[in-house]
């Protein structure tokens, strides 16, 4: 059994991970961490029987005393890096779904994972459909270099654009080299109307509304035609097979893997 600590267990994603860890045959919940619901049994989050694991806000202590092998983190951009550093320092392998880490954070975590010789998976999207969307978008960019991305999420999402949109843009930019799209000078009547600008003029537009989970359209424009690659996560269960894959895979890795596609494709 793989002993799993869940950080952010009381959140939308944390609850799905809790159900997944309890249901899988080879994973065992050993610690439940959240800044809310401290002292409650983790089972109360699901309205069920006590699980014998109390929710705590003290991550370092929970990792040191629970025998955790893997920490799954779905918290927020302001806490994720400190949580991953704490896990690595405790000899626990992080599986990170939280988005919004800066390039400096990645660098810091990568160096520490290497030094500790521990696996760490950081995945901006665990849904297989979203990973295929990114793969197909990178392929299409060879033929359609003009592209804009529209991502749509629920209105409680803190960071924008989404980690998935940034990752998609990075993969497209790898394919199209120094290509520049759009006008050099544009006049925005309302600041931000044209979205966030990536290198080469690639724009990302972020929509935040209740009702959405996680959705993205990658729109390619060519002569007399457009091509749209679209993915919708309509429920948070969509991320769980990927999270389980990562929990199992991280045990045999050394260093940081950024993106689950590196474990699934080729």
**Active-site positions?**
153, 157
Pair 79, 158: CB distance under 8 Å: no
Pair 30, 6: CB distance under 8 Å: no
Of these, 239, 246, 250, 258, which contacts ligand NAD (CB under 6 A)? 239
Residues annotated in a binding site for NAD(+): 8-13, 34, 97-99, 123-126
Distances (CA, A) of 25 to 2, 53, 187, 253, 256: 10, 18, 57, 21, 26
First vs last C-alpha separation in the chain? 28
Taking contact as CB under 6 A, which single stretch among the options 12-20, 102-110, 112-120, 183-191 is the one that binds ligand NAD?
12-20
For residues 171 and 210, give the distance between their C-alpha atoms in angstroms, rounded to a whole number: 29
261 binds ligand NAD (CB under 6 A): no
Of these, 2, 7, 70, 146, which contacts ligand NAD (CB under 6 A)? 7
The CB-side HSE value for 23 (13 A sphere, CA atoms) comes to: 11
Residues annotated in a binding site: 8-13, 34, 97-99, 123-126, 154, 163-164
**Which residues have C-beta within 8 Å of that of residue 49, sequence separation ≥ 6?**
43
Considering the complex, state which of residue 166 and residue 172 has its C-beta at the smaller distance from ligand NAD.
166
258 binds ligand NAD (CB under 6 A): no
Element housing 216 (H / E): strand 214-222
Considering the complex, state which of residue 123 and residue 138 has its C-beta at the smaller distance from ligand NAD.
123
The site string for ligand NAD over 93-132 (x = CB under 6 A, - otherwise) reads: ----xxxx----------------------xxxx------
Order of all β-strands in the sheet with 27-33: 55-56, 27-33, 2-7, 70-73, 93-96, 119-122, 255-258
63 binds ligand NAD (CB under 6 A): no
Please report how close the Cβ of residue 112 comes to ligand NAD at its closest, in angstroms.
18
Residues that bind ligand NAD (CB under 6 A): 7-8, 10-14, 33-36, 74-76, 79, 97-100, 123-126, 157, 214, 239
């Amino acid at each position: 059994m793989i002993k799993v600590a869940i950080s952010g267990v009381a959140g939308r994603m944390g609850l799905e991970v809790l159900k997944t860890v309890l249901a899988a045959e080879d994973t065992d919940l050993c610690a439940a961490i959240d800044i809310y619901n401290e002292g409650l049994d983790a089972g109360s989050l699901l309205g069920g029987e006590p699980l014998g694991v109390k929710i705590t806000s003290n991550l370092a202590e929970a990792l040191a005393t629970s025998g955790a092998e893997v920490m799954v983190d779905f918290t927020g951009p302001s806490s994720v890096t400190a949580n991953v550093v704490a896990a690595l320092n405790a000899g626990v392998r992080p599986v990170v779904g939280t988005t919004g880490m800066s390039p400096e954070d990645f660098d810091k975590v990568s160096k520490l994972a290497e030094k500790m010789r521990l696996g760490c998976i950081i995945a901006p999207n665990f849904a297989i459909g979203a990973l295929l969307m990114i793969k197909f978008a990178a392929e299409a960019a060879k033929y359609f270099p003009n592209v804009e991305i529209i991502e749509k999420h629920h209105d409680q999402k803190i960071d924008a654009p989404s980690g998935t949109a940034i990752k998609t843009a990075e993969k497209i930019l790898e394919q199209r080299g120094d290509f520049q799209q759009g006008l050099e000078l544009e006049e925005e009547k309302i600041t931000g109307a044209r979205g966030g600008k990536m290198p080469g003029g690639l724009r990302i537009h972020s929509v935040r509304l209740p009702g959405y989970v996680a959705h993205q359209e990658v729109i390619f424009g060519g002569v007399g035609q457009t091509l749209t690659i679209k993915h919708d996560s309509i429920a948070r269960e969509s991320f769980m097979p990927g999270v389980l894959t990562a929990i199992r895979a991280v045990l045999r890795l050394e260093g940081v893997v950024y993106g689950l596609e590196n474990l699934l494709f080729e």
